[in-house]
Copies of this chain bind each other. A is one copy, B any other.
Amino acid sequence: MPKKVDHEARRREISQALWRIASTRGLEGASLRDVAAEAGISLGRLQHYFRTKDEMLVFALRYIETLAQDRIRARIEALDGEPTPRDILRACLTGMLPLDEQSRIGFLVGVAHFHRAVHDAALRADVRDGIPKLRDLFADQLRRAMERGEVRRDRDADDEAMVLISLVDGLSTYILLDVHTPEKAVQLLDMRLAQLFDGVGAG
Protein backbone atom coordinates (compact mmCIF):
# COMPACT_ATOMS: atom_id res chain seq x y z
CA MET A 1 0.00 0.00 0.00
CA PRO A 2 1.12 3.56 -0.59
CA LYS A 3 1.77 6.19 2.01
CA LYS A 4 -1.33 7.06 3.85
CA VAL A 5 -2.59 10.62 3.77
CA ASP A 6 -5.52 11.94 5.69
CA HIS A 7 -7.58 13.33 2.86
CA GLU A 8 -10.03 15.02 5.13
CA ALA A 9 -7.25 16.80 7.01
CA ARG A 10 -5.69 18.00 3.75
CA ARG A 11 -9.05 19.33 2.62
CA ARG A 12 -9.44 21.20 5.86
CA GLU A 13 -6.02 22.80 5.45
CA ILE A 14 -6.91 23.94 1.96
CA SER A 15 -10.24 25.27 3.19
CA GLN A 16 -8.45 27.35 5.77
CA ALA A 17 -6.25 28.85 3.07
CA LEU A 18 -9.36 29.66 1.12
CA TRP A 19 -10.86 31.46 4.10
CA ARG A 20 -7.70 33.46 4.61
CA ILE A 21 -7.99 34.74 1.07
CA ALA A 22 -11.72 35.28 1.37
CA SER A 23 -11.28 37.41 4.44
CA THR A 24 -8.92 39.80 2.68
CA ARG A 25 -9.69 39.75 -1.02
CA GLY A 26 -13.13 38.22 -1.07
CA LEU A 27 -14.25 34.75 -1.95
CA GLU A 28 -15.12 35.45 -5.56
CA GLY A 29 -11.61 36.62 -6.30
CA ALA A 30 -10.01 33.45 -5.06
CA SER A 31 -8.73 31.34 -7.93
CA LEU A 32 -7.48 27.81 -7.55
CA ARG A 33 -3.94 29.06 -8.06
CA ASP A 34 -4.35 31.67 -5.34
CA VAL A 35 -5.65 29.12 -2.89
CA ALA A 36 -2.87 26.69 -3.71
CA ALA A 37 -0.26 29.40 -3.21
CA GLU A 38 -1.83 30.49 0.06
CA ALA A 39 -1.86 26.88 1.25
CA GLY A 40 1.75 26.51 0.17
CA ILE A 41 1.05 23.65 -2.22
CA SER A 42 1.04 23.17 -5.96
CA LEU A 43 -2.04 23.57 -8.10
CA GLY A 44 -1.82 19.92 -9.00
CA ARG A 45 -1.95 18.86 -5.39
CA LEU A 46 -4.95 21.02 -4.72
CA GLN A 47 -6.70 19.49 -7.69
CA HIS A 48 -5.87 16.09 -6.35
CA TYR A 49 -7.96 16.75 -3.28
CA PHE A 50 -10.68 18.83 -4.95
CA ARG A 51 -11.56 17.74 -8.45
CA THR A 52 -13.44 20.95 -9.18
CA LYS A 53 -13.56 24.41 -7.73
CA ASP A 54 -17.18 23.98 -6.81
CA GLU A 55 -16.30 20.90 -4.78
CA MET A 56 -13.79 23.00 -2.85
CA LEU A 57 -16.24 25.81 -2.22
CA VAL A 58 -18.95 23.48 -1.00
CA PHE A 59 -16.56 21.65 1.29
CA ALA A 60 -15.23 24.91 2.72
CA LEU A 61 -18.75 26.09 3.41
CA ARG A 62 -19.81 22.91 5.14
CA TYR A 63 -16.61 22.90 7.17
CA ILE A 64 -17.00 26.45 8.41
CA GLU A 65 -20.62 25.78 9.21
CA THR A 66 -19.52 22.86 11.34
CA LEU A 67 -17.00 25.01 13.15
CA ALA A 68 -19.64 27.66 13.79
CA GLN A 69 -22.01 25.10 15.22
CA ASP A 70 -19.28 23.71 17.43
CA ARG A 71 -18.42 27.19 18.62
CA ILE A 72 -22.01 27.94 19.55
CA ARG A 73 -22.44 24.58 21.20
CA ALA A 74 -19.33 25.22 23.25
CA ARG A 75 -20.69 28.60 24.27
CA ILE A 76 -23.86 27.00 25.55
CA GLU A 77 -22.00 24.31 27.45
CA ALA A 78 -19.73 26.95 28.93
CA LEU A 79 -22.72 28.48 30.70
CA ASP A 80 -22.37 27.43 34.29
CA GLY A 81 -25.10 25.98 36.39
CA GLU A 82 -28.51 25.59 34.82
CA PRO A 83 -28.69 28.09 31.97
CA THR A 84 -31.94 29.94 31.50
CA PRO A 85 -33.62 30.09 28.11
CA ARG A 86 -32.43 33.66 27.90
CA ASP A 87 -28.83 32.62 28.52
CA ILE A 88 -29.02 30.01 25.82
CA LEU A 89 -30.63 32.34 23.33
CA ARG A 90 -28.10 35.04 24.00
CA ALA A 91 -25.23 32.59 23.64
CA CYS A 92 -26.56 31.38 20.30
CA LEU A 93 -27.35 34.80 18.91
CA THR A 94 -24.09 36.44 19.92
CA GLY A 95 -22.36 33.32 18.62
CA MET A 96 -23.83 34.08 15.22
CA LEU A 97 -22.43 37.61 15.17
CA PRO A 98 -19.06 38.20 13.47
CA LEU A 99 -17.24 39.19 16.64
CA ASP A 100 -13.86 37.59 16.00
CA GLU A 101 -11.86 36.80 12.92
CA GLN A 102 -13.16 33.27 12.54
CA SER A 103 -16.82 34.13 12.78
CA ARG A 104 -16.17 37.14 10.57
CA ILE A 105 -14.82 34.90 7.86
CA GLY A 106 -17.64 32.49 8.51
CA PHE A 107 -20.20 35.18 7.89
CA LEU A 108 -18.42 36.31 4.72
CA VAL A 109 -18.32 32.79 3.38
CA GLY A 110 -21.99 32.58 4.22
CA VAL A 111 -22.67 35.76 2.28
CA ALA A 112 -20.76 34.43 -0.70
CA HIS A 113 -22.84 31.28 -0.44
CA PHE A 114 -25.98 33.39 -0.24
CA HIS A 115 -24.91 35.17 -3.39
CA ARG A 116 -24.72 31.88 -5.23
CA ALA A 117 -27.86 30.50 -3.62
CA VAL A 118 -30.03 33.37 -4.82
CA HIS A 119 -29.60 32.09 -8.37
CA ASP A 120 -29.38 28.40 -7.63
CA ALA A 121 -32.42 26.54 -6.38
CA ALA A 122 -30.38 23.54 -5.22
CA LEU A 123 -28.19 25.61 -2.93
CA ARG A 124 -31.22 27.53 -1.73
CA ALA A 125 -32.77 24.31 -0.54
CA ASP A 126 -29.99 23.93 2.05
CA VAL A 127 -30.81 27.30 3.52
CA ARG A 128 -34.52 26.64 3.41
CA ASP A 129 -33.99 23.60 5.56
CA GLY A 130 -31.40 25.09 7.91
CA ILE A 131 -33.01 28.33 8.96
CA PRO A 132 -36.40 26.94 10.01
CA LYS A 133 -34.55 24.37 12.09
CA LEU A 134 -32.69 27.16 13.83
CA ARG A 135 -35.92 29.08 14.25
CA ASP A 136 -37.60 26.11 15.87
CA LEU A 137 -34.70 25.80 18.27
CA PHE A 138 -35.05 29.42 19.30
CA ALA A 139 -38.82 29.18 19.44
CA ASP A 140 -38.52 26.27 21.85
CA GLN A 141 -36.39 28.36 24.16
CA LEU A 142 -38.90 31.19 23.93
CA ARG A 143 -41.73 28.82 24.83
CA ARG A 144 -39.71 27.58 27.79
CA ALA A 145 -39.28 31.18 28.86
CA MET A 146 -43.02 31.74 28.55
CA GLU A 147 -43.70 28.82 30.86
CA ARG A 148 -41.27 30.32 33.32
CA GLY A 149 -43.10 33.63 33.12
CA GLU A 150 -40.12 35.44 31.65
CA VAL A 151 -41.76 36.18 28.34
CA ARG A 152 -45.33 37.29 27.78
CA ARG A 153 -47.51 34.39 26.78
CA ASP A 154 -49.24 36.26 23.96
CA ARG A 155 -46.03 36.40 21.98
CA ASP A 156 -45.76 34.23 18.88
CA ALA A 157 -42.67 32.16 19.60
CA ASP A 158 -42.02 31.27 15.96
CA ASP A 159 -42.38 34.82 14.73
CA GLU A 160 -40.24 36.27 17.50
CA ALA A 161 -37.57 33.67 16.78
CA MET A 162 -37.52 34.60 13.11
CA VAL A 163 -37.26 38.27 13.99
CA LEU A 164 -34.28 37.53 16.21
CA ILE A 165 -32.54 35.61 13.43
CA SER A 166 -33.23 38.35 10.91
CA LEU A 167 -32.02 40.97 13.35
CA VAL A 168 -28.74 39.17 13.95
CA ASP A 169 -28.31 38.87 10.20
CA GLY A 170 -28.74 42.59 9.70
CA LEU A 171 -26.57 43.50 12.67
CA SER A 172 -23.83 41.28 11.27
CA THR A 173 -24.00 42.97 7.90
CA TYR A 174 -23.45 46.37 9.45
CA ILE A 175 -20.59 45.16 11.58
CA LEU A 176 -18.76 44.13 8.44
CA LEU A 177 -19.48 47.48 6.84
CA ASP A 178 -18.12 49.33 9.86
CA VAL A 179 -21.47 51.03 10.36
CA HIS A 180 -21.31 50.01 13.99
CA THR A 181 -18.86 48.16 16.18
CA PRO A 182 -19.32 44.55 17.26
CA GLU A 183 -19.90 45.86 20.79
CA LYS A 184 -22.70 48.10 19.58
CA ALA A 185 -24.32 45.20 17.78
CA VAL A 186 -24.25 43.12 20.95
CA GLN A 187 -25.74 46.04 22.84
CA LEU A 188 -28.59 46.35 20.34
CA LEU A 189 -29.19 42.63 20.53
CA ASP A 190 -29.27 42.79 24.32
CA MET A 191 -31.73 45.65 24.13
CA ARG A 192 -34.02 43.53 22.01
CA LEU A 193 -33.65 40.57 24.35
CA ALA A 194 -34.43 42.78 27.32
CA GLN A 195 -37.59 43.90 25.60
CA LEU A 196 -38.60 40.31 25.02
CA PHE A 197 -37.67 39.03 28.45
CA ASP A 198 -39.53 41.19 30.86
CA GLY A 199 -42.57 39.13 31.59
CA VAL A 200 -45.61 41.35 31.54
CA GLY A 201 -43.76 44.64 31.07
CA ALA A 202 -43.03 46.49 27.85
CA GLY A 203 -40.85 45.19 25.09
Listed in ascending order, the chain A residues whose CB lies under 8 Å from chain B are 24-26, 28, 108, 111-112, 114-119, 124, 127-128, 131-132, 152, 156, 159, 162-163, 165-171, 173-174, 176-180, 187-188, 191-192, 195, 200-203
Separation of A128 and B180 alpha carbons in the complex (Å): 9
CB of A202 within 8 A of CB of B115, answer: no
Grouping DSSP codes into helix (H, G, I), strand (E, B) and loop, the A interface class, with mixed when no group exceeds half, is: helix
CB of B165 within 8 A of CB of A170, answer: yes
CB of A177 within 8 A of CB of B117, answer: yes
Which of B117, B159, B171 is the one whose CB lies under 8 Å from A191?
A: B159
Q: In the complex, what's the smallest C-beta–C-beta distance from A104 to chain B, in angstroms? A: 9
Separation of A121 and B2 alpha carbons in the complex (Å): 49
Q: In the complex, what's the smallest C-beta–C-beta distance from A111 to chain B, in angstroms? A: 7
